[in-house]
Amino acid sequence: MADRTPTGDTRSPRLTGKTALVTGSTRGIGRTVAECLGCEGATIIISGREQADVDRDIAELATIDIPASGLTADLSRPEAAHRLGERAIAMAGRLDILVNNAGMSRRGPFWDVSDADWEYQVNTNYRAPFILAQHAARHMLQHGLLGRIINTSTVGAHRCHADAAVYDSAKAAVEGMTRNMAHELARNGITVNCVIPGPIGDRPGSEHERPFWGHVSQNVPVGRVGTAADVAAAVLFFALPESSFTTGQSLLVDGGYAAPLPEE
**Residues annotated as part of the active site:** 167
**3-state secondary structure string across the chain:** CCCCCCCCCCCCCCCCCCEEEECCCCCHHHHHHHHHHHHCCCEEEEEECCHHHHHHHHHHHHCCCCCEEEEECCCCCHHHHHHHHHHHHHHHCCCCEEEECCCCCCCCCHHHCCHHHHHHHHHHHHHHHHHHHHHHHHHHHHHCCCCEEEEECCHHHCCCCCCCHHHHHHHHHHHHHHHHHHHHHHHHCCEEEEEEECCECCCCCCHHHHHHHHHHHCCCCCCCCECHHHHHHHHHHHHCHHHCCCCCCEEEECCCCCCCCCCC
